[in-house]
Amino acid sequence: AAATGKYADRFGGQLVLVTGAAGGIGRATAFAFAEAGARVIAVDRDAEGAARTAELSRLIGAPEAWAETVDVSDEQAMEKLSEKVAAEYGVVDVLVNNAGIGLSGSFLDTTPEDWRKVLDVNLWGVIHGCRLFGRQMAERGQGGHIVNTASAAAYLPSRTLPAYSTSKAAVLMLSECLRAELVGKGIGVSAICPGIVNTNITSTARFAGVDAAEEKRRQRNAARLYGLRNYPPEKVADAVLRAVVRNQAVVPVTPEARGGRLMA
Ligand code: NAI
């Protein structure tokens, strides 16, 4: 299929790697780049979901698309991935560090093990991606862009997401530090901060010391309060492509995310 996306001129033929691409925001982002004619690498620990994203990306307009099964929190696996990508597909033009997991619970009930799980994926996964692929971009010397999926939780404190919010606040800050470091090399870094988006993240999230059903009800109510029950991942994907095109630093996406922080 020919590229028809509105950013086809900008991304046609570029190599784009998206983590957490088996579903939700990651899959929608892979599709948006595919529509713009980019070559897509869909990375996820869910092999079947990643393969499906790659297959559909080709149908949508990606001249080439591949799936890689990797746990982003696994340093060695990420190193292997970065070597394989460089050897077989080339240097990535756009990296989207999007894989993440949820964890709800009170601070005092969250165990060290749960803290580690969330930080391993949400923070270390992003660090590995930035280090490994950022270095390849820098050494190539032809620019590039890194997009990290943070969250409005990075700057809106809550009583029920302490570990998750902390991991996302760290992602926001590391993105801004890396942006400052790479600006001189023509490499952009953006942090995307969505509020509540309609994906499976709450259904797969773990619940520490709280009743899962009650917590889901609470989150649904909060979303309804904001009138945000159906904010589609496709709109977040659109914000990702726009962030690259406009080289935006911090991008709040949903209304309540924008209410908490103005775009920088
Ligand atoms: P999702 O659960 O639909 O997608 C997350 C994907 O990441 C899944 O395909 C999952 O298999 C993958 N993943 C999880 N851990 C992984 C690991 N260790 N290695 C490789 N892949 C892994 O959820 P969603 O909402 O699409 O989440 C995407 C990102 O957006 C996450 O970073 C999340 O924290 C962030 N976000 C989501 C919001 C929401 O309301 N849904 C709001 C703000 C941020």
ipTM above 0.90, yes or no: yes
Residue 209 lies inside a defined structural domain of this protein: no
- In the residue annotation, 164 being an active-site residue is answered as yes
Does 149 contact ligand 1 (Cβ within 6 A)? yes
Please report whether residue 189 resides in a domain: yes
Q: Is residue 256 part of a domain?
A: no
| Confidence check: pLDDT of 102 > 90 | yes
Among 116-125, 130-139, 216-225, 237-246, which stretch is predicted with the lowest mean pLDDT? 216-225
The residue type found at 263 is M
46 touches ligand 1 (CB under 6 Å): yes
pLDDT at 224 over 70: no
Q: Poorest-confidence range of 148-152, 206-210, 235-239, 258-262? A: 206-210
Q: Which domain holds residue 143?
A: 8-102+113-196+232-251
At residue 262, does pLDDT exceed 70? no
In a domain, 205, yes or no: no
Q: Which residues contact 146 (CB under 8 A, 6 or more apart)?
A: 94, 95, 96, 97, 129, 130, 133, 134, 137, 175, 178, 182, 187, 188, 189, 190
What whole-number distance in Å separates Cα of residue 180 and Cα of residue 244? 16
Q: Which of 7, 155, 164, 226 is catalytic?
A: 164
Whether residue 88 is contained in a domain is answered as yes
In a domain, 259, yes or no: no
| Atom 31, ligand 1: residue with shortest CA distance | 100
Q: Would 107 be classed as within a structural domain? A: no
- Dist CA 147 CA 241 (whole Å): 9
Asked if residue 33 lies in contact with residue 16, where contact means CB atoms within 8 angstroms, the answer is yes
Nearest CA owner, ligand 1 atom 33: 100
Strand order of the β-sheet with 94-97 is: 65-69, 39-44, 15-19, 94-97, 144-149, 187-193, 250-252
CB of 129 shorter than 6 A to ligand 1? no
Give which of 162, 26, 164, 183 is closest to 95, Cα–Cα. 26
When pLDDT is averaged across residues 131-148 and rounded to a whole number, the result is 98
In this predicted structure, the answer to whether residue 227 has a pLDDT above a threshold of 60 is: no
Please check whether residue 226 lies inside any domain of the structure. no
Residue the block writes with tokens 């010391």: 209
Structural domains in the chain (count): 1
CATH code where residue 126 lies:
3.40.50.720
